Each structure stands twice: as structure tokens, then as C-alpha cells.
A and B are shown apart, each in its own frame.
Chain A
Amino acid sequence: NAGVMQNPRHLVRRRGQEARLRCSPMKGHSHVYWYRQLPEEGLKFMVYLQKENIIDESGMPKERFSAEFPKEGPSILRIQQVVRGDSAAYFCASSPQGGPGTQYFGPGTRLLVL
């Protein structure tokens, strides 16, 4: 049973470019969460999605960041016009159900903005 998959594992972008991070949840999981880990900081919640719905985006920056989880295909975290402060590790987690439960994390995408 494959775990949560994320790609790419490493992504380098220049300031002003777009970054697209992909997350495929575990088989049977329909709930996806994105977290960001800034250098020397803890993991912070960004957004919670179900298929075709954003449930909670209270942790998303107001501008340049968006997320989707289409009916088919992986969840995408999109960062437009990246800045150096966006450099971080971005982790996706999935769970089989919403509400209190267990989240399983992917290996993360390390984004470096030059």
C-alpha cells in the first residue's frame, strides 16, 4: 500500500516564477492537508481539502497561494510569483476521513527560491 506521494521532491525557482507542488494521497483517502515548514520553524497548517472542495484555508497566505484537489488526479498547491520567503519544505498529509483522526504525511517538497 503506497504511502502519500509528493513530487517533485526538490524544486528550484527564480523570483517571480510559479511553483506547482503535487500530492497523491494514500489509496482510499479523500482528505488532503498541506503544511509548510519554514527553516528553523515548526510545521504550520495551510489548507484542508476534500475532492473538489476547500474545507479550511485559514492557514493560506492571502495572495499568490492557491490549492485544489480535483475529482481526478493529485492535489496541487500553486504558488504564483514566488519570493525568497517562500523557500520552505511543503508537506502534504492525507486521511481517510475528516474530523478527528490520523494524518499520514508525504516526504515533502523542498522549494528553493533563488
Chain B
Amino acid sequence: TQLLEQSPQFLSIQEGENLTVYCNSSSVFSSLQWYRQEPGEGPVLLVTVVTGGEVKKLKRLTFQFGDARKDSSLHITAAQPGDTGLYLCAGESGTASKLTFGTGTRLQVTL
């Protein structure tokens, strides 16, 4: 059974601070996706990373896929209250197609 562990589980920070969320597994994934989920809504895709070592930037968000494609990180610079939400990583293996979701990181950014 593939598992994706996210850390930290909860994070409460003030506006303007930087933070990093980690997503770790002992399994190799062909791709890894990061989503943000608001209460009462479905996960919204932020990014897909495919190549080991790949780095993608989305405004103040930087995503990295580990060289061995077993782990990933999400770094947010100068967090804003609008960044508040549940962040989920999800890995896909080969042609299996189904996503294995991480345990989630709940971020709260206060003024």
C-alpha cells in the first residue's frame, strides 16, 4: 500500500511569513500533483510535476519534485490570508491512474 505523509499536519502563521510543506513516501510516483481544498469544495489543482528534480513556480508558490520521485515540497513566500486552506499532495504510479492522496496540511494565515 502506497502512503504519502505530509508535514506539518497543521500550520498557523502570520501574513508575510514563509512556509514549506513536505510530502514524503517510500514509493516512486510517475507524477505528483498538489491541490488546495476549501471547506465544502473539491480539491483545486495547483500544479503537476513529472520529472525528478523538477521545480515549478506559481506566483508565490514553488513546487519541487524529489530527484527519486518519492517526495515533494511546496514553499510559499510571503503568505497571505487567501492562502488559507487544506493542501493535499497526490501521487500517481505508472499506468495505475488512481491518485494516492497525502494526509493533508491545514494552513491558516492570519493578519
Contacts and interface: CB of A to CB of B under 8 A. Distances in A.
Contact of A43 (B31, B45, B88): B88
- Specify the main secondary structure of chain A where it touches its partner: strand
Q: Interface residues of B toward A: which range?
A: 20 to 34
**Which of B92, B98, B101 has the most chain A CB atoms closer than 10 A to its own CB?**
B98
A56 B93 CA distance: 13
Contact of B99 (A4, A45, A55, A106): A45
A41 to B, nearest CB: 9
Contacts of A35: 99, 101
Interface residues of A, number: 29
A55 B97 contact: yes
A84 B16 CA distance: 43
A104 B14 CA distance: 30
A82 B104 CA distance: 28
A56 B42 contact: no
A55 to B, nearest CB: 7
Contact of A100 (B41, B88, B95): B95
B96 interface: yes
B41 A107 contact: yes
A28 interface: no
B42 A105 contact: yes
Given A43-B43, A102-B45, A105-B35, A56 B97 contact: yes
Nearest to B44: A105
Interface of A: 4, 6, 31, 33, 35, 42-45, 48, 55-56, 58-59, 91, 93, 95, 98-108, 110
Interface of B: 30-31, 33, 35, 40-45, 48, 50, 88, 90, 92, 94-104
